[in-house]
Amino acid sequence: MSSHDLRHLLLALTAVGVLCVLPIALGAPIDLLLAAPVLLLALPLLAGRYLGEETLDRLARVVAARRRPRTVAALLSTARGPRVLLARGGALLARSLAVRPPPAAPVIR
């Protein structure tokens, strides 16, 4: 962070601090202090900075470097046979309590 950005951030934090103390000194309701966290989070965004921006960029580059494109052979080796839908939830209860079980589950390809 450059000294110019740091100076702006310190100025903004000072302004928020003054805005937090001013209502107390003037006898205004303390409910205005509820807005202080929102102001503290909004100030860097309004200044055009996103907290942790560099870290997110670095992590995205690391993940992209680790990710390798999958080949056709790798895709074919992970192919599975047909899946059978299994009963779940209420259908599972109904199937176990049924005198005559329902028809066989469909096969999905």
Residue-by-residue pLDDT tens, the chain, 109 positions:
677 778 877 887 888 788 778 777 887 777 767 777 787 778 777 777 777 888 888 999 988 888 766 666 666 656 666 666 777 888 888 878 877 766 777 777 6
- CA–CA distance, 54 with 60 (Å, rounded to integer): 10
Q: Is the dihedral of CA 17, 19, 25, 30 positive or negative?
A: negative
Q: Where are the domains of the chain?
A: 3-66
| Angstrom distance (rounded) from CA 101 to CA 92 | 11
Residue 83, strand partner residues = 108
pTM > 0.75: no
